[in-house]
């Protein structure tokens, strides 16, 4: 399965502004447009529970798009689950990927936070990183990855300036060797 990690961060790698999980307060319109175009192009989207909680009111369920929320406590969300559209799981990344491949999925868009990003990167499952860098420095917030023991090499595939302010879109291939 091809796994694409998509995220936005500040120049210094913060994905949130302090404890506020609402990234739409500080990210550009161009990033939002890019992100939602990625969502539209993918029928399998995986995120962590913090990302789900932050974006829950913006998620529009449809029968042709499966969203998986990784959580330590799937039972907490039993009343929110819609089989085939919104599912909750506590599986390890490799087990999740194997199960979803058996269901016929060939591509996954990973839109989690630092913990989920770290889990998938550590398991060497991520093939591409789509990263928007906003021209801001945030002193506090959640980091792009939560594990400081990662050592991953990337190769730049595409780069684009999204606006006059200097928002950058970078697409990397993850070097898995």
Spatial contact of 9 and 106, defined as CB atoms under 8 Å apart: no
Helix, strand, or coil (residue 48) = strand
Q: How confident is the model at residue 24 (pLDDT cuts 50, 70, 90)?
A: confident
How many angstroms separate the CA atoms of 52 and 112, rounded? 8
Q: pLDDT tens digit string along 67-103?
A: 999 999 999 999 999 999 999 999 999 999 999 999 9
Q: How confident is the model at residue 172 (pLDDT cuts 50, 70, 90)?
A: very high
Q: Which tokens belong to 4?
A: 């694409």
Give the pLDDT confidence score for residue 161 in this predicted structure: 98
pLDDT at 177 over 80: no
For 109-133, what is the mean pLDDT? 96
Decide: pTM greater than 0.75.
Answer: yes
Q: pLDDT tens digit string along 58-70?
A: 899 999 999 999 9
How many angstroms separate the CA atoms of 12 and 1, rounded? 30
Give the pLDDT confidence score for residue 147 in this predicted structure: 78
How many angstroms separate the CA atoms of 37 and 53, rounded? 21
pLDDT at 7 over 90: yes
For 140-157, what is the mean pLDDT? 91
Q: How confident is the model at residue 11 (pLDDT cuts 50, 70, 90)?
A: very high
Give the pLDDT confidence score for residue 149 in this predicted structure: 85
Number of H-type helices and E-type strands within the chain: 4, 8
């Amino acid at each position: 399965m091809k796994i694409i990690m998509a995220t936005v961060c500040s120049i210094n790698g913060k994905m949130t502004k302090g404890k506020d999980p609402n990234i739409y307060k500080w990210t550009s319109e161009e990033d939002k447009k890019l992100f939602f175009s990625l969502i539209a192009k993918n029928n399998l989207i995986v995120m962590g529970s913090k990302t789900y909680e932050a974006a829950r009111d913006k998620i529009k369920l449809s029968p042709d798009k499966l969203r998986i929320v990784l959580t330590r406590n799937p039972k907490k969300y039993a009343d929110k689950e819609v089989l085939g559209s919104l599912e909750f799981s506590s599986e390890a990344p490799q087990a999740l990927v194997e199960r979803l491949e058996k269901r016929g999925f060939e591509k996954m868009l990973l839109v989690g936070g630092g913990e989920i990003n770290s889990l998938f990167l550590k398991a060497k499952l991520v093939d591409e990183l789509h990263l928007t860098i906003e021209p801001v420095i945030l002193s506090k917030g959640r980091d792009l990855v939560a594990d400081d023991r990662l050592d991953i090499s990337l190769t730049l595939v595409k780069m684009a300036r999204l606006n006059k302010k200097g928002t950058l879109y970078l697409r990397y291939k993850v070097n898995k060797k």
